[in-house]
Amino acid sequence: MLETLSMNIARAAMTAQAAIAEAALNQADRPAALSPDPFNVGPAMTQVMTGLASRPEKLFAAQADLFNRYLDLWAGATRQAAGETPAPPPADKRFKDPAWSENPMFDVMRRSYLITSDWMNGLVSSVEDVDPRTKRRAEFFTRLLTDAFSPSNFLASNPAALKAMAETNGESLVKGMQNFAADLERGMGKLKISQADYGRFEVGVNVATAPGKVIWRDELFELIQYDPATEKQRAIPLLIFPPWINKFYILDLQPGNSMIRWLSAQGFTVFVCSWVNPDRDKAEWDFDQYLEKGIYRAVEKALEQSGADSLNAVGYCIGGTLLGAALAHMAATGDDRVNAATFFAAQHDFAEAGDLLLFTDEHWLAEIEKKMDAAGGVLPGAAMADTFNALRANDLIWSFFVSNYLMGKDPPAFDLLFWNADQTRMPKALHLNYLRSMYGQNLLSKGEFEIGGIKVDLSNVQIPLYFQASREDHIAPMNSVYRSARAFSNADVTLTLAGSGHIAGVVNPPSAKKYQHWLNPDLPETLAEWQAGAEERPGSWWEHWSGWLHDRSGGWVKARDPEKGAFPPLESAPGSYVKVKS
């Protein structure tokens, strides 16, 4: 057994070395796309350290605090050695394996790490007299650093990984290094961690399978009309604008969690705008093109196909940002084709837009522009994925690093993570304008954003609006969505707060009986006030929204067959655009 273990460790080392050497060769002739400090962390940390140094008494107090924490740690370890059961540390998924608490050495290692990381992050957060955004950048990257140095991320200090290696005579480590080599190859020399078993899913085969037809296609989108699931449907159809950062089938993963199928079963005529995966020919396309050739054309074709005079619209994430700007443009031009609108995790006021604000200073935007120029005028899909993964590094990077490489496990067959890796590209002009105008200058909420030749004002929108926010959303934080809802100051706004995050908070069918949601008919000045007066209800918010939608969708008409509308079907759903890989 010892001989087998030794041989497998050697095999694992050779596999890793060969993969790293191959990756180095693949990257050798590529010019560096980014500077050594693309996020401009160095100056931020310098300001923070200067701020700490200017208050030596505070620094001394922090050092004393750290010393006292370690005294408590060693005192607790001594009592534990004498047979006393220690108080459990705060719950942390990284240390859920029983070996972290059962083995005194690993228990001390874990507690020591948690003490040090908490102290370091707290020290950076306590600095005063530093620009808030600069301080936030330092906090964010200090957290990334402390997360990276968790003992769970290293073989020698992870008891679960060591146990797996011993129990398998090193086979787990060999498999882990094979996974590592495969991910390096998949990323063409850059480590691209697998989050799911991508071979287990195929778009249109076992994900994105709701029946329907593509009834319109042009250079920007395919318009899909889904088959009816009831004999009668509401007179006013529903048109969904998903984000173009990801593909629309997050709303149609499996039959059991498909919002599209669920809406059809409620008696709605469902249309979805499936955006093209843009390439170099659309490098200069901006919000104007996505308004005129996207929102307006999709509305026009959905109404022609359905024979209705108006429709209800949905915008998800950045699709909701565009829809909000479009509604303000419609209000300014007297266009009344949208009867009511819903926003899923969408922002219009970006003053509290979360950690993504850190990626929008001019230093980083210059680096993004270089990357897009090198790719021919589009932002590669992997770049956006890397950004979103960094926002939740423990969940979306390090958990897979440990599982795939240290433990040698296969990635899970998880539809949501398969979708998460199926990224799209972003046109240069549109993406830079979005980052600068929205995140950087917050022009839309100020009434200073120009689209379609008009500076639009959200307060001019007067149709009924439904906002959904998620309590743990790290991309569209609940405070940001709440501010966005209040920016439509003259509209009849209904807001629901859901449990979970940016995806699971939205895609939560009633049949799952998961999470909860909160309702409050009022919209006071702050989210805290709204929460104080909100009623908590169990499970999904979909049924509440469906009731709201039914009330604003007219009477009942004979169900609409996609094959009998104004446009002959081009192909079956989910269409062709959604299958284009980046």
Q: pLDDT tens digits for 392-407? A: 888 889 999 999 999 9
* For residue 2, pLDDT beyond 70: no
In a domain, 454, yes or no: yes
What secondary structure letter does DSSP report for 7? H
Higher pLDDT, 74 or 277: 277
In a domain, 478, yes or no: yes
Q: Lowest mean pLDDT: which of 138-142, 290-294, 306-310?
A: 138-142
Q: Six-digit token pair at 267?
A: 């008696």
* Catalytic hit among 41, 44, 317, 323: 317
Residue 208, phi-psi category: left (phi > 0), alpha (psi -120 to 50), beta (remainder):
left
In a domain, 289, yes or no: yes
Q: What is the mean pLDDT of the segment spanning 23-39?
A: 55
Q: Provide the sign of the torsion angle of the four alpha carbons 401, 407, 410, 416, taken in this order.
A: negative
CATH for 344: 3.40.50.1820
What is the longest distance spanned by two Cα atoms in the chain?
A: 81
- Which helix (H) or strand (E) covers residue 13, if one does? helix 2-28
Q: What is the mean pLDDT of the segment spanning 274-290?
A: 96
Q: Is 158 helix (H, G, I), strand (E, B) or coil?
A: coil
Q: Six-digit token pair at 66?
A: 């750290």
Number of domains into which the chain is organized: 1
Q: How far apart are CA 332 and CA 336, in angstroms?
A: 10
Q: What is the pLDDT of residues 89-124, one digit of tens each?
A: 778 999 999 989 888 899 999 999 999 999 999 999
Q: How far apart are CA 171 and CA 161, in angstroms?
A: 11
Q: How far apart are CA 570 and CA 224, in angstroms?
A: 10
In a domain, 304, yes or no: yes
- Nearest alpha-carbon partner for 212 in 234, 236, 240, 235: 240
In a domain, 467, yes or no: yes
- Nearest alpha-carbon partner for 319 in 262, 250, 417, 365: 250
Residue 317: active-site member: yes
Please, are residues 173 and 12 in contact by the beta-carbon 8 Å criterion? yes
In a domain, 294, yes or no: yes
- Nearest alpha-carbon partner for 209 in 246, 162, 261: 261
In a domain, 381, yes or no: no
In a domain, 258, yes or no: yes
- The CA R_g of the chain, rounded to the nearest whole Å, is 26
* For residue 9, pLDDT beyond 80: no
437: containing domain: 212-358+425-576
- Nearest alpha-carbon partner for 279 in 427, 468, 179: 427
